[in-house]
Amino acid sequence: MPLDFKRPKFLSRLFSPSKDRASNSTVQRSQIRSSQSILGGAHHFQTGDLRVLNAPNATQVNAVKEAAMQQNVDKIERGRLDTLPKRPDMSRMWVEFLPNSRQPEIEELCERESSSTHLVLCVHGPAGIGKSILAGHLSDEFRSAGRLAASIFLDVFAADAPGPETIVKMIAHEIGSIHTQAIPKIVEAMDQCHGTSLGNYLQKYILEPLRSLHHPQPLIIIIDAMDEWRDAAIFIQAIAPLNSESSVVKFILTYRLNPCASRMPGIDRVSICTYSLGPIAKEVIKTYFKKYLGTVLWVDGRKASPTDVEKLSELSGGLPVWASTVIALLSHPFNESPPNKILAEIVGSRLQVGGADGLGELYRFALRRLFPSSEARKLFRRYIGATIALQESLSLLDFSMLAGIPPHLINRIQFALSALQTRSRPPGMIYPATTLFHSSFLEFLQNMTRESSFAISAFDSHSALGLTCLEQLSSLLAPSPRCNFPLCAIQHYAVKHWPYHMSNGTPRSKDQWSQTKHCSTLQTVLAAGTRKQWAILFWRTLMPEADELRLEDVGEENSMALTLRRLAYWLDQSGGDHWGFQVACLDVAVRIDNGDAEAWSELGRVYRARGDRMGSLQMYEEAVVAFRHALQLRPDSHPGHAELLDKIAIALRSSYRRNGNHDRLREAILCSRTALTLSPVPHPDRGRYLSTLANTLNHLHAHNSDPKTLNEVISLHREALALRPPPHPKRPSSLNNLGAALSDLYRCNDDIKGLNEAISLHREALALQPALHPDRSRSLDLLASTLQPLRVHNGNIDTLNEAISRHREVLALCPAPHPRSLNNLACALHSLYQYNRNIRSLDECISLAQEALALCPAATALRAATLDTLATAILSQFEQNGVVDVLNKAISLFHQALILCPPGNINRGYPLENLVKALRKRIEVTGDDQDRGEIEVLKAGLAALQPAKAKRLGEY
């Protein structure tokens, strides 16, 4: 059955936060703060006990009262700040920062931070190089200088790390804790941001509080181990609008790989500079070994020799993690061999970092020493596998029940593994492995191939924990409709995390799933009388502040699969950081009932939405897989078959946009054509399928510049428009799509009829979108951009003035700096300058183009267009002042634009034509013919691309 969930009553207040409360608290704060001027006449008072000294008049008494009220509000605001998520404690790192070990790097990083206007400084280097140690030191240094806004270390979180909204709140809590003057703005954000976009979170929780401090220098936010965070791409894309705010806030991020070189999704939108972190100097490592080898309890006076120190320093490869691991092994009392024997084996075995296995050789050596017997290694695998899958900390006894390992054996394993920990934790609890061990160690265990006695399967570990969680539920849930709360820790964990462990530890295949013990246990434990109780407990665990889920909300008739789908839907609507739980619910749902097509389709939708948000190729690929599963369950005759083909086409097209794989684009076109074939007139969704195919073919035309492809795009958009007469809600979109395609056709053939029709279509779309319509800015932008070339044909200044007015309106509607809108307005102002020769128009054009360029993603069509705009304006500036350096700057910018428009690119003609003109001017000014050969090459390229324009250039 189609999933058409209505919002249940318990969600109604969740989506309508108390506006009165928010506005009242804001008003109260403003009233109190406006009264602070009264304090100017008060002398010698103490607000703690309200004792007034030398208060000669009532004004002073009132001032004390106002101060007491202010103090009360400050306490309330501080209390509310403390309800925000807090970053984990980083004070227990075992690998210390070696004094002066990174002095040249620190000086270089500080110089870059102070001299650059980039929003982000990215420090990258391989595992174990010391990025986290450096990040911690920089955090201390900036805090001492009064310039630290916040520091977050992402590798201390469990495997299921918080979502970006939660991380933003953690940063805000740090800001408020360090800079108490920012607390009022943070509290305002808490009242205003529920359920809003991540961009709004960044504006309200971070930018506005920092801006309110009026600090003379930008404050620094340090985020370590970004590459270990699943939502890194989402966060990176979200901070891009802050590019122009680098005078208020800057970010220092650490990665293993250079995110620019590895083409991390969204990184090209951010103003960023990178710094490659190299190994620590050998002399520093030697100093470290000399210091800590002296703390080892050597036997019979056999100590490390200078030769040993020299060899260890060489073997370390400058990696602090390698050095600290060696010291831990030599110092660990669990080893049966004396330290000098272990040292001799390390030195003699040449466990060098630079080998093919990197740190793996040392880890393998350590594990063999710490767990010498087959039984010990078996226990190690069970323990470490369970902690790798573990999602939150548990007491020793609770973890013992969950993992099925006796407590005394857990203590022995913990003691042995303490030699390999990079962080310590308070005793008595078992923590997720990611919060204790270096990521390189955990990756070594899960990627091991040669040494199976230590290899860990995360799949098997999740499988075991998932089954234990279900068994815990069997003792918790009963046929009675009452659900006791709060739960004990192990019950809380089982209620919350069994879907996640099941989704990561059982096969999706129907045949394989049905043979698992999980399948039969699930049917027994969560039968009709108990699954509703679990749903209530699950909701209450994840959403403690929301209205309670009731049995009638879940529905007595629901299957387990439908219950999971409902929960996933409500989590999606809640606006919180629950994507992992949402996917887990749907991932289990598709295993049940032989894989329902609707459940697969919903899973695909969730993955695609995540892909849109993250720009993640992996999410789009997961969406394709899920939609294909749904398609297999729907025969060609099924009315939803075409809809799934359309969804697959959109996901494939999104995948193509991320990786440029033309096989993906061709497959998307094939799926889209098939969907259209299955939906003849008068199919209600034919218009949507026409638009999907047209938009997909438009990507093909951008690649091949084939006029036939563009003509088909126009034909498809015309048919879609005909199927969407007024007042169809999608008519404005179809009008704009057709108008944009006709504008592309005009750029190819200079046909004024197509341009006039495009303008007419955009005007009609704009008329259908009143002032508050969310898509009005797109119609305005398309209309303005289409009016500009019309003015070239009709010579009417009113056309140009309207274009400028429309562009200014678009810019006013943009919630944050918008490079495309800035560039479009700059283009229009340059056209105005060419008409009236008013230098103010040219100056504004250059200023806007420079601002747009600073915000432009690297290696994109938008950046190429902005470079061309700025170069053209600077060329006009040269015509004003005749300065050759200005002309050379314009030529350099035209060359940069041309690089971003390689042969075959539809936009290559603009920088080609403009560069020819600029080079001709340089010959005229300098009399140097050295540019003549390049001009001929450029003209030949333009003639092949756009013969009409090449002809207009004429012969030089």
Q: What is the pLDDT of residues 509-556, one digit of tens each?
A: 888 999 999 999 999 998 877 888 899 899 988 888 777 666 556 665
Backbone torsion region of residue 681, taken as left when φ is above 0, otherwise alpha when ψ lies between -120 and 50, otherwise beta: beta
DSSP state for residue 206 in the 8-state scheme: I
For residue 904, what pLDDT is reported? Answer: 65
Q: Angle formed by the axes of helices 861-881 and 909-926, to 10°?
A: 20
In tens, the pLDDT along 645-678 reads: 999 999 999 999 878 899 999 999 999 999 999 9
For residue 881, what pLDDT is reported? Answer: 92
Query: pLDDT band at residue 177, thresholds of 50, 70 and 90?
Result: very high
For residue 950, what pLDDT is reported? Answer: 45
Are 388 and 446 in contact by the 8 Å Cβ rule? The answer is yes
Instruction: Compute the distance between CA of residue 169 and CA of residue 21 in angstroms, rounded to an integer.
Output: 20
Q: Angle formed by the axes of helices 489-505 and 517-525, to 10°?
A: 140
CATH of domain 103-276: 3.40.50.300
For residue 60, what pLDDT is reported? Answer: 67
- The structural domains of the chain, with segments of one domain joined by +, span 103-276, 282-370, 374-456, 457-589, 595-723, 851-955
Q: Do domains 103-276 and 374-456 have the same CATH topology?
A: no
Instruction: Compute the distance between CA of residue 288 and CA of residue 294 in angstroms, rounded to an integer.
Output: 10
Fold category of 374-456 in CATH: Arc Repressor Mutant, subunit A (1.10.10)
Instruction: Compute the distance between CA of residue 500 and CA of residue 161 in angstroms, rounded to an integer.
Output: 13
Contacts of residue 292, defined as CB under 8 A and 6 or more positions apart, other chains included, come to: 327
Instruction: Compute the distance between CA of residue 701 and CA of residue 698 in angstroms, rounded to an integer.
Output: 5
In tens, the pLDDT along 275-322 reads: 999 888 888 889 889 888 988 888 877 788 899 999 998 888 888 888
Instruction: Compute the distance between CA of residue 500 and CA of residue 392 in angstroms, rounded to an integer.
Output: 12
494/297: higher pLDDT: 494
Instruction: Compute the distance between CA of residue 513 and CA of residue 520 in angstroms, rounded to an integer.
Output: 10
851-884 as b/e: b if 16+ CB within 10 A: bbbbbbbeeeebbbbbbbbbbbbbbbbbeeeeee
Are 570 and 8 in contact by the 8 Å Cβ rule? The answer is yes
What would the DSSP string read from start to end of 520-557? HHHHHHT-TTTHHHHHHHHHHHH-TTSPPP-HHHH-TT
501 backbone dihedrals φ, ψ, rounded to 5°: -65, -40
Tell me, rounded to whole angstroms, the distance of Cα 868 from its chain centroid.
Answer: 30
Give the helix/strand (H/E) hosting 395. strand 394-395
In tens, the pLDDT along 196-225 reads: 778 888 989 999 999 999 999 999 999 998
> What's the Cα-to-Cα distance from 883 to each of 723, 895, 911, rounded to whole Å?
57, 19, 21
448/929: higher pLDDT: 929
Contacts of residue 872, defined as CB under 8 A and 6 or more positions apart, other chains included, come to: 830, 890, 914
Per-residue pLDDT at 839 exceeds 90: yes
What would the DSSP string read from start to end of 49-110? TTEESS--SHHHHHHHHHHHHHHHHHHHHHHHHTTS--PPP-TTBSSPPPTTTTHHHHHHHH
For residue 797, give the 3-state DSSP assignment. helix
Own/partner pairs, 45-53, CB within 8 angstroms, 24+ separation: 47/71
Sign of the dihedral defined by the CA atoms of residues 882, 886, 887, 888, in that order: positive
Instruction: Compute the distance between CA of residue 475 and CA of residue 473 in angstroms, rounded to an integer.
Output: 5
934 backbone dihedrals φ, ψ, rounded to 5°: -65, -35
Per-residue pLDDT at 144 exceeds 70: yes
Cis peptide before 209 (omega within 30 of 0): no
Fold category of 595-723 in CATH: 1.25.40
Sign of the dihedral defined by the CA atoms of residues 294, 298, 301, 305, in that order: negative
For residue 761, give the 3-state DSSP assignment. helix
> What's the Cα-to-Cα distance from 435 to each of 126, 334, 412, 925, rounded to whole Å?
19, 22, 19, 66
For residue 350, what pLDDT is reported? Answer: 65
For residue 589, what pLDDT is reported? Answer: 94
Residues 246-265 have a mean pLDDT of 86
497/899: higher pLDDT: 497
**Two tokens, residue 857:** 């993603």
Are 473 and 401 in contact by the 8 Å Cβ rule? The answer is no
Per-residue pLDDT at 801 exceeds 90: yes
> What's the Cα-to-Cα distance from 424 to each of 89, 91, 147, 156, 343, rounded to whole Å?
10, 9, 29, 11, 24
In tens, the pLDDT along 31-60 reads: 444 433 333 333 333 333 333 344 455 666
**Two tokens, residue 80:** 């509310």
Query: pLDDT band at residue 784, thresholds of 50, 70 and 90?
Result: very high
CB atoms within 10 A of CB 53: 9
**Two tokens, residue 584:** 């887990």
296-318 as b/e: b if 16+ CB within 10 A: beeeeeeebeeebbebbbbbbbb
Of 858, 877, 878, 880, the C-alpha closest to 867 is 858
pTM: 0.76
Residue at token pair 């008329």: 767
Alpha-carbon dihedral of residues 469, 475, 481, 482, nearest 10 degrees?
-100
